[in-house]
Structure 1
Amino acid sequence: MNWRMSVYNFFVTAQQGAWDKTGYEFDRSRFLEFTPEEVAAGFQDLKTRQLETLKKLPCLFAYEGEYSMRVGKLIDVKPRGRALFIEFEMDPNIPEIPYDNIRPLKTLLDIRDWEMTRTHWAVKDEDLFDRLRNAQLIPTAAQPSIPEPASLPDPEPSDEKVDSVGAFITAVLAMEKGGKEIFYRGHSNKPKYRLEPSLFRKNDSGDYVHLSDEHRLYRELLVSNSGDFQGDVYSLDRLVRMQHYSLPTRLLDITSNPLIALYFACCSNTASKRDGTEIPEIPGEVIVFSIDRDRVKYFDSDTASCLANLARMPDSEKNNIDYSLSDTAFNEQTSIKRLLHFVKEEKPFFEPRIVKDHLRSVLCVKGKRSNDRISFQAGAFLLFGHGAVLDELATPEIGVKRIEVVNKRKMLEDLDQLNINERTVFPYIENSARYIAQRYSFKAQTSQGAV
């Protein structure tokens, strides 16, 4: 365990008076925003160990804008579906700290300017009390309410571990299906990759890289390559094609073929040598999803159209959507009317009513297999709605199990014998050429070594 004191919770809300109460609810999608990647990795799974760690961290409570801040502690953290409910209390021995006194410390506390315009919950890799004491903003003797040092938890272990293709196939066949439809996804770097689409990924500092520009990414590719999209009927079709060309989208690739997922789990970060130094392999992982068949949608699904057309809306419009309104009032919002306009462009007879819970869901979609890559990879997608988060440990709708993969180089050799390789997984001439060159280079080296 990595024992440390230099971590604190930073809470920001737009709801004035929220910190005068004893409880507050954050949308799960706002948790770990503006959090360094190495810290966020320990809190992707919110089990008892992670929740207890969060409760041990000192807390700084703030409002959007330039308002005074408070120091306090967490009493409890309770996951509630797509929300996190916190109970808290302020430190009675530390008065409010004016924003003008915090301003010179923002860099030292890792508080970024744009953070103060967005409701979120960050976990900062800084010593809150040390910084405040050095700036003489709290008494020298002030200590965190819970003095026990906090441990950044390691990610949860996988459900199973395999070191051969045979062991992997045995593990997959032994899993209880329960009448559900099964999909797979391979990650070549088990500690690094999360169950989130490329659009939602953050840099090492915890800032979103592309999310605020989603509508621009979507339109720019259509403008520059409009001919490639002429046959696409729905926005989902366009997102699938954009995903195929590596544009960040709200789609997460999955497959119905477990061997394809295994290939992706093994295709990089294998053991190697560099300048005579052994570089150990990084374990891979295959994630197994189980989904009720009636929850698997197709490319022409109305719900899929609603989620896919979010890509056409500016971030400011999406963030103005108020999900606390009644169903009728929800659909009267300007942002929702604009979304309905986009949906009706591709579905003129669509009833002008959106179910608000659907708009924030994660949907399993079988899109059109419009290119050879999707066809061979038996591709499907998880389509993420507005601020949607897929719990790394599973949700009531999507079951999640994990198989850790080691001995990856040998597995790639065995997969090649089953015709699962770069040439077939990526069926383009440049990939075929690279595969053939590498294959015969290996044979030539083996032959020369035997002479």
Structure 2
Amino acid sequence: MDRRSGCWEAGGATVSLGRYLEYTDDAIAARLSEMTPEVIEQLQGWPALFAYEFSEYDDHNSVVAWVGRITSIQIRGSSARIGCEFDPSVPPLTLRKMLAMLWELDIEYETDRTHWAVKDIDLEAVLRSKGIIGTLPAPVSTPQLAITSETVERALSEVEHLVKTGRGAASALDRIHTALHGYLIQLCVDASLLPVQDEQLSLTAAFKKLREDHPKFSYAGPRPGEVTSALKASSSIIEVLNTLRNNASMAHPNSAIVPEPEAMYLINLARSLLHYVEMKRTTN
């Protein structure tokens, strides 16, 4: 929250580090107090609310806040420069709308003070409950994987967290790529298709090796030509996921990020592919 009108529309604001984590739960503040690269990555991966101090506005129809994400955090002395980007799928929030959901946003007395708080809330759920954004179909669920690794489990857990706790699908692209990549390589190793676990094998190459060399991935049903074409198309999707992960996700400091609808579409496709691979692996 900032007092200076126009800063958020201009792309960001400077906040005193002395006001960082004000009005934040003690447990959350303890985890995020030191601005390490890991903490900065976390903060940039979460949805954010960029607001102005309410006392500067008398008209309840005035726009006072936007939903978006932090694009950059630069530390200089005792200040932090926050870069921001608004989510085009969420309308600007008027003072009237903000006042109507203060409790749900865990906002109390801080509406008239410049500060930076971190809240443990489901921002997307709050916006839906207030009719600010529409109700979307439930995303494809993540399957239960019998064969996995610590890396895969952690990546899938982070995908779930990013998708459920706000508009974080663009950030989750990197994590779903890591999970799918690690899982396919593990299956190749377990089936002796690779002599040792080779993380240098690309995601596309790992899926191709499974599809062509793993005995359980052969297809003997009707219309084999069409089914094979569909499976080959999955390889193209994987290749696209690879490219977007490197050039348009939060995995690297990219200036342009895949928009939320397309990012969620790709995550759902990757989850569907996980379902398919797990079903083939467990079918007798």
Normalising by structure 2, we get a TM-score of 0.46
The TM-score, its normalising length taken from structure 1, stands at 0.29
The answer to which structure has the higher strand fraction is 1
Larger Rg: 1
